[in-house]
């Protein structure tokens, strides 16, 4: 750990007031901990390594533990993802389709598939998992949220193939419940299967796949990108925090942050993405408010140790709140354009602002993958246990019959 982190800790000690967490064998003791304790814990993490090789060893420990807790072995072959697309709508420079993915036998995920029009492939791809926005008034939940529609369509207008899919127990995918710990396993599996799906498309460049989401979508982004090195760039938005481990069982319900020989946090899980390009987007009004002083310096020190400091960037919006609003989308779009070779110019106004006015905001009913003509298949699994069994079976059948 370098001296800068000692200075950060001292600064926090005098600027942040709060009770120390009680000593507890469980880590973290709660999904939100005292900010000074969190900074101390992060400093303790930093004392376990001192150079690139040391970090690689620690990242291996974090990744191996995560893989064990989530029971996901990415080295095993997996069968292809099946997808049923319908209601393709074409606009001037992009199209959007409704799609039902089957990520294991009987495990269905409703999604939308955005694609560029009038461009030659192969295309980069951006995966956009959503968070816990429940919807309000005329702005629906999850992947239907207008900010997500604007993000996905703008990226498609820039030349990316984009997939936005439901969390388990959210949107249309409500035949399974959401708020239980095993959801972390199913959602991470679905993220990896989203990578499988786009990387298997003939006109997608599988070396240029990125992932971005905000809040719980940020959690899904750093978990999948930590485990799956096919994610070539990542932009978790308003989520990466040393003192906030995620308020839902799908984020902090399983012991992903501690093993027999280590304690960690979402800062280090995100740092495991190094040396691949990373953008942290943070704001002043949620648990990412300390990012310039705490989280970003730590992650940057990992990138520096790996000789990749230029691949780690941050956009901190101190006056903003917890959303994926225009300035956050602009930061992500510019980052993804640079890292994936997208056509940023195609979406800029004369004064070089990102223009999302050409995006057609569709109604929830227009984006649904499940409707009267396309009902949820009768073989959909009945519960989480059946879904986990289907994932295990998919892996076994793939071993017997490699693709
Ligand atoms: Zn959740």
Which domain range does residue 197 map to? 111-362
> With contact defined as beta carbons under 8 Å apart, do 381 and 106 qualify?
yes
Does 1 have pLDDT greater than 90? Answer: no
For the chain, percent of residues with pLDDT exceeding 90? 89
CA of residue 335 to ligand 1 center, whole Å: 27
Give me the CATH number covering residue 232: 3.40.50.1820
Domain annotation covers residue 87? no
CA of residue 174 to ligand 1 center, whole Å: 13
- Rounded to whole angstroms, how far apart are CA atoms 19 and 298? 24
CA of residue 184 to ligand 1 center, whole Å: 8
Please give the pLDDT value at position 399: 54
CA of residue 141 to ligand 1 center, whole Å: 13
Does 403 have pLDDT greater than 70? Answer: no
CA of residue 364 to ligand 1 center, whole Å: 21
pLDDT, tens digit (0-9, with 9 covering 90-100), for 88-115: 999 999 999 999 999 999 999 999 999 9
| Burial call 133-161: b when 16+ CB within 10 Å, e when fewer | beeeeeebbbbbbebbbbbbbbbbbbbbb
CA of residue 163 to ligand 1 center, whole Å: 19
Structure tokens at 244: 């906030």
Tell me the average pLDDT of the chain.
93
> With contact defined as beta carbons under 8 Å apart, do 165 and 101 qualify?
yes
CA of residue 226 to ligand 1 center, whole Å: 19
Task: Give, to the nearest 10 degrees, the angle between helix 295-305 and helix 35-46.
Answer: 10
Preceding peptide of 368 cis, ω within 30°: no
| Burial call 205-218: b when 16+ CB within 10 Å, e when fewer | beebbbbbbbbbbb
| pLDDT confidence bin for 398, thresholds 50/70/90 | low
Please give the pLDDT value at position 54: 98
Domain annotation covers residue 34? no
Where does 6-106 show beta strands of DSSP type E? 82-90, 94-104
Token pair 């498609």: residue: 156
pLDDT, tens digit (0-9, with 9 covering 90-100), for 205-218: 999 999 999 999 99
Domain annotation covers residue 80? no
Question: Residue 261 class from Cβ within 10 Å (0-12 exposed, 13-18 middle, 19+ buried)?
Answer: exposed
Domain annotation covers residue 127? yes
**15-29, 65-79, 162-176: least confident range:** 15-29
Please give the pLDDT value at position 394: 87
Q: Which residues neighbour ligand 1 (ion) by CB within 5 Å?
A: 248, 250
CA of residue 175 to ligand 1 center, whole Å: 15
Domain annotation covers residue 28? no
Element (H, E) at 185: helix 183-199
- Provide the number of structural domains found in the chain: 1
C-alpha distance from residue 233 to each of 213, 226, 236 (Å)? 12, 11, 10
CA of residue 104 to ligand 1 center, whole Å: 21
Domain annotation covers residue 392? no
CA of residue 393 to ligand 1 center, whole Å: 25
Q: What radius of gyration, in Å, describes the C-alpha atoms of the chain?
A: 20
CA of residue 215 to ligand 1 center, whole Å: 10
Q: How far is CA 253 from the centre of its chain?
A: 17
Domain annotation covers residue 152? yes
CA of residue 392 to ligand 1 center, whole Å: 22
CA of residue 316 to ligand 1 center, whole Å: 24
pLDDT, tens digit (0-9, with 9 covering 90-100), for 381-395: 999 999 999 999 887
Structure tokens at 372: 């009267």
CA of residue 342 to ligand 1 center, whole Å: 31
Neighbours of 289 (CB within 10 A): 18
CA of residue 216 to ligand 1 center, whole Å: 7
> With contact defined as beta carbons under 8 Å apart, do 39 and 9 qualify?
yes
pLDDT, tens digit (0-9, with 9 covering 90-100), for 293-336: 999 999 999 999 999 999 999 999 999 999 999 999 999 999 99
CA of residue 71 to ligand 1 center, whole Å: 19
> With contact defined as beta carbons under 8 Å apart, do 49 and 55 qualify?
yes
Element (H, E) at 330: helix 326-340
pLDDT, tens digit (0-9, with 9 covering 90-100), for 262-291: 999 999 999 999 999 999 999 999 999 999
CA of residue 248 to ligand 1 center, whole Å: 4
CA of residue 112 to ligand 1 center, whole Å: 20
* Residues present in the chain in total: 403
Structure tokens at 33: 């901990």
């Amino acid at each position: 750990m370098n001296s800068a982190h000692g200075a950060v800790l001292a600064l926090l000690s005098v600027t942040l007031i709060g009770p120390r967490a009680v000593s507890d064998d469980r880590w973290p003791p709660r999904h939100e901990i005292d900010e000074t304790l969190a900074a101390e814990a992060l400093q303790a993490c930093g004392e376990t390594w001192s150079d690139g090789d040391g970090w690689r060893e620690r990242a291996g420990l974090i990744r191996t533990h995560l893989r064990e807790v989530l029971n996901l072995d990415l080295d095993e072959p997996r069968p292809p993802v099946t997808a049923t697309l319908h209601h393709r709508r074409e606009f001037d420079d992009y199209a959007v389709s409704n799609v039902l993915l089957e990520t294991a036998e009987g495990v269905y995920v409703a999604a939308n598939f955005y694609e560029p029009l009038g461009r030659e492939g192969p295309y980069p791809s951006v995966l956009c998992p959503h968070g816990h926005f429940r919807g309000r008034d005329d702005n629906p939940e999850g992947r239907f949220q207008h900010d997500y529609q604007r993000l996905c369509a703008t990226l498609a207008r820039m030349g990316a193939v984009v997939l936005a899919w439901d969390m388990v127990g959210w949107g249309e995918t409500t035949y399974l419940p959401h708020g239980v710990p095993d959801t972390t396993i199913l959602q991470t599996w679905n993220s990896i299967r989203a990578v499988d799906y786009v990387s298997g498309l003939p006109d997608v460049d599988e070396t240029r796949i990125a992932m971005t989401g905000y809040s719980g979508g940020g959690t899904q982004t750093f978990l999948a990108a930590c485990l799956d090195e096919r994610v070539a760039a990542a932009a978790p938005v308003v989520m990466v925090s040393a003192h906030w481990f995620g308020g839902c069982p799908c984020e902090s319900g399983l012991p992903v942050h501690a093993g027999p020989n280590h304690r960690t946090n979402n800062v280090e899980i995100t740092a495991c993405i190094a040396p691949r390009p990373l953008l942290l987007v943070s704001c002043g009004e949620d648990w990412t408010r300390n990012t310039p002083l705490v989280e970003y310096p730590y992650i940057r020190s990992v990138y520096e140790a790996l000789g990749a400091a230029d691949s780690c960037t941050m956009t901190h919006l101190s006056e903003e709140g917890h959303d994926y609003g225009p300035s956050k989308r602009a930061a992500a779009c510019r980052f993804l354009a640079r890292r994936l070779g997208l056509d940023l110019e195609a979406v800029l106004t004369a004064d070089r602002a990102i223009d999302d006015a050409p995006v057609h905001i569709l109604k929830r009913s227009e984006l649904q993958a499940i409707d009267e003509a396309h009902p949820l298949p009768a073989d959909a699994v009945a519960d989480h246990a059946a879904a986990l069994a289907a994932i295990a079976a998919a892996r076994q059948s793939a071993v017997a019959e490699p693709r």
